[in-house]
């Protein structure tokens, strides 16, 4: 283990740059709006603009794998280049792949995104725990071995998530159980490295409103970072983040709200989001 785990490193960046993560989401419509081609060359140009313009403006960048996979092998090659370029430029890269499986398959996903020297090596990876939190063990083990971070889906804002995530368990709710198990992993790591934040974060939507309170969840007691999608185009701003997260360690995730401003305006737009979060 290094002297600081991934959660502690990301926390330091949030203190320096503000609690904002911008997605690298090359929607076809955005490629068109930016005057870029709908192919691997367009993906590369899009990623290059994001990495360069957001340098020194945000705590993290989050490439969305789906928009690269659409273009097949050439798209995956562009994703590799995007991640490598962003990390070489000093960004903290959270690759948004939402992987979740069991056994050797989960180990394969983990190796693809978390192993040192892998073509898709990232600083952190999003995971889905809905085959059981224990199914994430290969990814957790590899992440801890190499000082990587993970963000585990816990309480998302899509309507379909309610039936699963809000379901009651003997300990409270499915979402609460996920947070508890992630908290326990973090506690072990923090006890060893003395940091104030663990490497296992959660994904909690910024637009979930009163759901955490309704489920009896104390998000501020969680010892990792909450990655909060839904800021910007989906309607959440600083006030909504304050209502959901209170004093929690929260990293707001924005995509279209910043990307929609277009080349030449990304940094200024991101800085306005950071200011809004600071006011809240």
Q: Does 62 participate in catalysis according to the annotation? A: no
Q: What is the C-alpha separation between 260 and 257, in angstroms, rounded?
A: 6
Q: For residues 219-231, b (16+ Cβ closer than 10 Å) or e, as one string? A: beebbbbbbbbbb
Q: Which of 219, 233, 201 is nearest to 92 (CA)?
A: 201
What is the full per-residue pLDDT of the chain (280 aa) written as tens digits?
Answer: 445 899 999 999 999 999 999 999 999 999 999 999 999 999 999 999 999 999 999 999 999 999 999 999 999 999 999 999 999 999 999 999 999 999 999 999 999 999 999 999 999 999 999 999 999 999 999 999 999 999 999 999 899 999 999 999 988 999 999 999 999 999 999 999 999 999 999 999 999 999 999 999 999 999 999 999 999 878 888 899 999 999 999 999 999 999 999 999 999 999 999 999 998 8
> Of the listed 62, 98, 148, 267, which one is catalytic?
98
Q: Which of 52, 62, 81 is nearest to 24 (CA)?
A: 62
Overall fold of domain 6-279: TIM Barrel (3.20.20)
pTM of the model: 0.96
Locate tokens 């816990």: which residue? 154
């Amino acid at each position: 283990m290094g002297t600081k785990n991934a959660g502690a490193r990301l926390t330091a960046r949030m203190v320096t740059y503000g609690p904002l993560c911008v997605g690298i989401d090359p929607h076809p419509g955005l490629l068109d709006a930016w005057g870029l081609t709908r192919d691997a060359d367009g993906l590369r140009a899009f990623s290059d603009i994001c990495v360069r313009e957001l340098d020194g403006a945000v705590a993290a960048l989050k490439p969305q794998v789906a928009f690269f996979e659409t273009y097949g092998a050439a798209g995956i090659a562009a994703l590799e280049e995007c991640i490598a370029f962003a990390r070489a430029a000093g960004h903290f890269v959270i690759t948004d792949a939402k992987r979740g499986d069991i056994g050797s398959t989960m180990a394969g996903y983990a190796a693809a995104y978390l192993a040192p020297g892998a073509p898709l090596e990232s600083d952190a990876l999003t995971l889905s725990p809905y085959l059981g939190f224990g199914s994430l063990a290969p990814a957790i083990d590899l992440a801890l071995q190499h000082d990587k971070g993970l963000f585990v889906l816990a309480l998302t804002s899509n309507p379909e998530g309610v039936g699963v995530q809000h379901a009651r368990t003997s300990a409270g709710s499915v979402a609460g159980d996920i947070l508890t198990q992630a908290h326990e992993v973090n506690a072990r790591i923090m006890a060893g490295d003395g940091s104030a934040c663990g490497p296992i974060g959660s994904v909690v939507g910024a637009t979930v409103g009163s759901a955490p309170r309704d489920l009896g969840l104390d998000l501020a007691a969680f010892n990792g970072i909450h990655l909060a999608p839904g800021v910007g185009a989906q309607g959440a701003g600083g006030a909504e983040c304050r209502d959901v997260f209170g004093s929690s360690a929260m990293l707001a995730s924005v995509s279209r709200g910043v990307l929609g401003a277009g080349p030449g305006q990304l940094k200024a737009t991101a800085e306005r989001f950071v200011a809004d979060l600071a006011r809240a």
